[in-house]
Amino acid sequence: MGRYFLGGAALAAALFSVTVADCPDYSAYSQQIHQPVSSGKYQLSSMRPDPACRTFNSSIVEDTITSMASVIKDPDLYRLFQNSFPNSLDTAVKWKGVSADNPEEELTFLITGDINAMWLRDSANQMQSYLSLVKADSSSDSLASLYRGVINLQARYVIEAPHCNSFQPPVESGLKPVQNQVLPDIFTPPVSNQTVFECKYELDSIAAFLEISTNYFQATGDIEFFRKFQWVDAINTILDATQALLIGTYASNGSVNTVPYTWQRTTTVGTETLDNNGRGNPVQAGTGLVRSAFRPSDDATIYQLFIPANMMFSRYLDSASEIMAAIGGQRNTANQMHNFAQSIRTAISKYGIINDNAYGEMYAYEVDGFGSRSLMDDANIPSLLSAPFFGYLNISDPIYQTTRKFILSEDNPYFMRGPVINAVGGPHAGLGQAWPMASIMRIFTSSDDQEITTALKEIVSTTDGLGLIHESINSFNQAIWTRQWFSWANGLFGQCILDLQQRKPEILQQSFQ
């Protein structure tokens, strides 16, 4: 998402004398090498801000970082973990406070990184990095509090603008809204640019709200929290918005339906705008799949029946229905959520699985319900590769395994290959740019030691000395990368290392030199 940065060779270390008043801008800080570098051959920069400049302190996260020193043997791999795991806490908690309407309602404005705005998807996943360390805790300096603040602010955003992906700081913060485009985007329904940074309708953004809600509930059992604020209203908004987006392009008499969302942007980039006067390519009626105008890369879908987001939405709508049921007095809504999740699952099986001549039965990335489909995968999550990671299916599912084999082969039009890094990419950062996020997802979905080791080695050796997880890296030249400060990918890497500690600790005892 967002801007396109090309990182050259690392800049010379700039030495700051840090006080709270003049903490360096992390966009610049993250492009410079800071001493001491790690002791392995990749000499990775120290990339944590000075303690006085960190945006949230968590002793349990600090203890985890310290304890991993004996778990991770390779000094460069450990440095990458040290820098990346706390990145969202160190740099992205732009504001934390309470609602003007209700001092009990915590709010957390958690930015994506190098853009001063909060994405629903990114913020849900930035918090997920710390999920294994979260427990019930009512204090305001806890990870649980940070979670509650993100959920409350997301609920506010969803209620005001359910079709939007990225949002401005809450008024309570006193932070100024930021302008996105020079020319305004043209879209329906209209929303205020004081609340919304960008209004690309992505089904996975809505699913992200259900994801973070599920994660917090399962970690804490704190049902009281879901009763108190705007959570039920946000769910009702989501149900209305997504049911309206089951609509096909044509009515049965042939007339063209009015669609609940359209989008056009003045741009030279095809994936930034929608065909057919902002409606997108035609979609068959009655499939039971929810449309998505954009992908989690913030690029337009080719066919709006986007399978990974339908999988993710179905999976978390079902788990969120359990929260709704536990609230009390919401049986009908809980049943509606569960039944809707099941009907999407049925539709995915009917329309989302195709029979490929070479591979056999596998999932398509996007379909239109008329018979057209796109066979590919993109690095951003939800992807097809990540379907077991977000819990839609089992890793052993034979159709998933066939799909995975395809995704990680040269038959996937967006699998980037080369001497530096081999991973899924996507149109967002362009051809030849492989995404470490997809290498991380490859590790999460593998139990093959060799495959995991190769992917880890590629990740640790391709940060251009900066010791952070970049958005994309040229598969032939690690000095050509995008996004120096992409908090989600950094947190995801930390989460992956903690997962390996549980599943395959011996891999973390290897050398990656």
Ligand X SMILES: *[C@@H]1O[C@H](CO)[C@@H](O)[C@H](O)[C@H]1NC(C)=O
* 55 lines the binding site for ligand X (CB under 6 A): yes
* 87 lines the binding site for ligand X (CB under 6 A): no
What is the nearest approach in angstroms of ligand X to the Cβ of residue 52?
4
Question: Residues 200, 112: contact at Cβ < 8 Å?
Answer: no
* 393 lines the binding site for ligand X (CB under 6 A): yes
Q: Return the SS3 of 484.
A: coil
Q: Which of 102, 266, 339, 394 binds ligand X (CB under 6 A)?
A: 394
51 vs 360 by CB, closer to ligand X: 51
CA 301, distance to chain mean position in Å, is 17
* 54 lines the binding site for ligand X (CB under 6 A): yes
Tracing tokens 């010791």 back to the chain, one arrives at 467
What is the nearest approach in angstroms of ligand X to the Cβ of residue 391?
6
Query: By C-alpha distance, which of 91, 123, 122, 121 is closest to 107?
Result: 123
* 52 lines the binding site for ligand X (CB under 6 A): yes
The encoded tokens of residue 306 equal: 């986007």
483: left (phi over 0), alpha (psi -120 to 50) or beta: left
* 255 lines the binding site for ligand X (CB under 6 A): yes
* 94 lines the binding site for ligand X (CB under 6 A): no
92 vs 497 by CB, closer to ligand X: 92
Other Cβ atoms within 10 Å of 39 Cβ, number: 13
User: Which range, of 126-134, 379-387, 390-398, 490-498, touches ligand X by CB under 6 A?
Assistant: 390-398
Q: Please give the residues from 403 up to 442 whose contact with ligand X meets the rule CB under 6 A.
A: none
Note the residue count of the chain: 513
C-alpha 130/C-alpha 198 separation (Å) is 27
C-alpha 443/C-alpha 409 separation (Å) is 16
* 346 lines the binding site for ligand X (CB under 6 A): no
Q: Which of 17, 139, 253, 277 binds ligand X (CB under 6 A)?
A: 253
The encoded tokens of residue 504 equal: 């395959």
C-alpha 99/C-alpha 149 separation (Å) is 10
369: left (phi over 0), alpha (psi -120 to 50) or beta: left
How many residues in the shown chain lie near ligand X by CB under 6 A?
Answer: 16
Q: Please give the residues from 108 up to 127 whose contact with ligand X meets the rule CB under 6 A.
A: none
* 179 lines the binding site for ligand X (CB under 6 A): yes
* 360 lines the binding site for ligand X (CB under 6 A): no
What is the nearest approach in angstroms of ligand X to the Cβ of residue 197?
8
What is the nearest approach in angstroms of ligand X to the Cβ of residue 55?
6
Question: Residues 12, 46: contact at Cβ < 8 Å?
Answer: no
* 251 lines the binding site for ligand X (CB under 6 A): yes
Tracing tokens 């139990």 back to the chain, one arrives at 447
Interface residues with ligand X (CB under 6 A) are 51-52, 54-57, 177, 179, 184, 193, 251, 253, 255, 391, 393-394
